[in-house]
Chain A
Amino acid sequence: MSDRPTNVLIVGVGGQGVILVSKVLTEVCQARGLAVKQSEVHGMAKRGGAVFSHVRFGREIWSPTIAQGEADVLLALEWAEGLRWLGHLSRAGTLIADTRRIVPLAACLDRSWGAQPAYPRRSPEDLLAGIANGFAIDATGIAMDLGNARVANTVVLGALSAVLGQPAEDWQPVLARNVPPKTVEVNHAAFARGRAWIESRPEPRPAASPPARQPVGATAPMNGVRLVITESWCKGCDICVKMCPERCLALNGAQVVELSDAGACTGCRVCEWLCPDFAITVDRGGQEPRA
């Protein structure tokens, strides 16, 4: 093993067994003589809230937490939690996510007819396209197939052991002593299914280039002036709309600014200066007015 620590971030919601997964991983690493640090937050677990656990192991470990963009493996027992933590995954990192969705109560507050829960709508295919190594596994489905939905975490654990490239024999005894005696058998089966699922996948693809961060809407030049609007940064505060001396800006239906009267814009830069969110840039093609 190299000197660089391995970072595994395990996320999910209360009751899924995030802590069990991280405990097994920690004990396996300890048994192999590695330094391990594990830290978790589970305050909201009883309410089905977010739970996460950072596990870092290697020759020597200092910090107990994983910085953004530094997780080698992101293990998500719940789909939206995986999305929430995606920023922690490193460029070359591996995502293993259960595709089952647990929609939180707060996402269902809109009770009007036909309302959609406010749950992320990105499809697994769309998500995996931007990640070096992504595995969307229906772990809950596999667990139900085995007759106990609660071992979905063990299915994912099996997948993790395969991704880390460690022999199953190291994991099985640790798993057995951490689960209730009556469920040892079904947990072993779940572990084996998760491991087999990963091993049956094709070789990982090379990392796709990350998608561009900034969708930029630019208007065609008018009067030699081009307004570049970063729509995703605009918060619809209407400062620019109110302050534009030519009254040529407006908020559209999505409360995002747009140039409503391109011919009137003089390129005075008032909107650029006053936008608190840096969403507008006035491009005068090098012709600068006195400021």
Chain B
Amino acid sequence: MLDGRPFDILDYLRRDLMPHFLCPGCGHGIALRALLWAVHETGIAKDRLAVISGIGCAGRLAAYIDANTFHVPHGRALPFATGLKIARPDLAVVVLTGDGDCLAIGGNHLIHACRRNLDLTCVMLNNEVYGMTGGQVSPTTGAGRLTTTTPQGNREPAFDACGLAEAAGAGLVGRELTLHPPTLKNVIKEGLAHPGFSFIEVMSDCTEIFGRKNEMGSSGEMILSQASAMRPTSYGSRGATAPFHPNAFPTGVLARNERPEYGAHLRAASASDDGHD
């Protein structure tokens, strides 16, 4: 927190790069604000914050943050962050990634990051599509959705990213919509506070590419329609809905898994090794 001041996003932006490159109404902007808001409320100084992002529309966001930011090769944000966090445990390391970057190109890195449980916060912006490259089907595209590579509708089931992260051992797993920024901020805060690997999926809207192709209306209508089909965990037990349509996924903090944190474990092990040689 900057001297106890209330949150002002301008304090956290590289203002000379604004306005950002996102299309009008792109939910990624809302998610970026929520992330920075959570950082502010958690009290992480900008010098202590490192944001790593891969490639894609979500991948560009790190560049707009006035902190230590890195834009790394496609899918490799998590391994880069892993190295950084091990070398600099004093930094709060956040990975900002998209569904393609995190689940397809970097999918293997995700499961191993969950398995290791290093203290990272991975915020995955899920817009169900490869927006930057023109709208190809992604691992999270809902069944039946139209994309440039599924002109007859997607015949593959969508990935439940949170289910994957939980099964692979992530310390904290959560999902939220862009429609409720304060709630989204709170879920990200939980992730930042958790001493282990936290995976947060943000249901974002790609209005220009995905929304247009699927006739989902204006940006406002699109985020509303996402919300109407979402189901906060407080309204029922999770897992009851068939996970084939992302809009039927539950939201909130979905799982906590108290396991040893990898960084501390590694440091303890190497300290005792040093004694032996």
Contacts and interface: CB of A to CB of B under 8 A. Distances in A.
B19 A273 contact: no
Given A214-B15, A233-B19, A237-B219, A278 B181 contact: no
Contacts of B185: 291
B9 interface: yes
B6 A237 contact: no
Contacts of A237: 24-25, 207, 218-220
A190 interface: no
Nearest to B23: A235
Interface in A138-178: none
B20 interface: yes
Contacts of A116: none
A139 B185 CA distance: 56
Contact of A232 (B19, B26, B182, B221): B19
Nearest to A68: B16
A274 B181 contact: yes
B252 interface: no
A273 B10 contact: no
Contact of B29 (A214, A232, A277): A277
A291 B181 CA distance: 10
Contacts of B13: 278
Nearest to B204: A276
Interface in A249-291: 273-278, 281, 288, 291
Interface string A225-246: 0000000110111110111000
A278 B18 contact: yes
Secondary structure class of chain B's binding surface, majority of residues: helix
Given A273-B33, A276-B25, A239 B6 contact: no
Contacts of B16: 213
Contacts of A281: 8, 10
A237 B182 CA distance: 21
Contacts of A288: 6
B19 A235 contact: yes
B19 A276 contact: no
Nearest to A291: B182
B30 interface: yes
Given A213-B15, A277-B19, A278-B18, A238 B25 contact: yes
Nearest to A255: B24
A205 to B, nearest CB: 24
Query: A213, A243, A274: which has the most chain B beta carbons within 10 Å?
Result: A274
A273 B33 CA distance: 7
B193 to A, nearest CB: 17
A49 B219 CA distance: 35
B24 A235 contact: yes
B142 interface: no
A239 B18 contact: no
B203 to A, nearest CB: 14
B145 interface: no
Contact of A242 (B10, B19, B27, B220): B220
B28 interface: yes
Contact of A278 (B10, B25, B28): B10
A273 B25 contact: no
B22 interface: yes
Interface of A: 213-214, 232-233, 235-239, 241-243, 273-278, 281, 288, 291
27 contacts: A213-B16, A236-B24, A237-B24, A237-B25, A237-B207, A237-B220, A238-B25, A238-B220, A241-B220, A242-B218, A242-B220, A242-B221, A242-B224, A273-B30, A274-B178, A274-B181, A275-B30, A276-B26, A276-B219, A277-B19, A277-B20, A277-B22, A278-B13, A278-B29, A278-B33, A291-B182, A291-B185
Top 7 A-B pairs ranked by shortest CB distance? A276-B29, A242-B220, A237-B25, A235-B24, A273-B181, A237-B24, A233-B19
Given A242-B218, A276-B219, 6 more contacts: A237-B207, A238-B220, A277-B19, A278-B9, A278-B10, A281-B10
